[in-house]
Structure 1
């Protein structure tokens, strides 16, 4: 279940487009509303670019991306610089040698191996990154085995990584790879352990501060929002035009 508020996003952009259409006397230029598909899969904006977005839409002078935030109703949150984090979803399969639970000495237990990896992953943020450098490493899913008395031959882990800089992301990804391979070697895993494309960091322009303050004079309230650990696939569409 991905409860990210996409219905709110669609309603908000439709309402903005309607307002822009009803008040053509208050602005000049070209307004284009883009509704991104498959955002939760991290591939929506890139698929739009691949399908010829840059040929259909002119190069924008300003590009805005919006997402619901935990703010009071009627308040707009903006900030210059990084806003949403990068996100990497990793699917890691570690291999063992299955067997009967009564003879664990004849097996390589992938559940024990996965547990060792999960424990070691917790040291990346706490022991390898400088204090104050944001990163989150979450093991959201582990799948292994079919019966209580059977030692499986593999375990599958789903990881999620979030950071505010590409440099930190690269460091954490390298640490994850090192830890997984090191624990597999220590356990005597018979096979090499695999991964998915991370979402790029979303940065807003320096004008976001002044834009937010101007909007504060119009409707509701506006102010600088805190950094968000959420990740959005807006960057490819924003950077599609050179």
Structure 2
């Protein structure tokens, strides 16, 4: 498969991930107000992120590998599963796909009555944050540690589920469920990133608060992805 087609698949897959996951948070999490049974809530948003990566991986995985996340691409490169020459094109495609999703989501949200983005509010437009912009008021240190550790484990799951000895055809299910679990753990802490593209795609529309804290949601997931890649490669070394 040509690099251009693989990057197109990464663009589309990341767009789907951000539109589905962040769209559920913006449009459906509190539909009708707090306590309304039609709103999907915390668990629904976590499941939406898992479903988007699951369906995206089945759809685009055979074309591009289904990364949809710069931290995944970096982790797979560090773990010896992805060539360095393709890192920059993949990351550019992922970020552009995420921003396109953010733009589409904004146009949809503006079509509803009373929609407005408050840049000073935690989770504004499904953005990530720490301190005053953390849903639970968690510190920058707690947010950084959470993002590093959860991204590292996400890479371990991805590399294990896609290993040649793993059951064939089930990797997207394991990866999707892992992302659901990650959101169940960390939505209160950072509104869950583990994906710099996902964070960027909504931060550019969420205002100065999210943009000012965006550095953490690049640095921590990339560090975590690299650690996860190293850890899994070490676990399998000598057992190939």
Q: TM-score, normalised by structure 2?
A: 0.25
The answer to which structure has the higher strand fraction is 1
Larger Rg: 1
Q: TM-score, normalised by structure 1?
A: 0.25
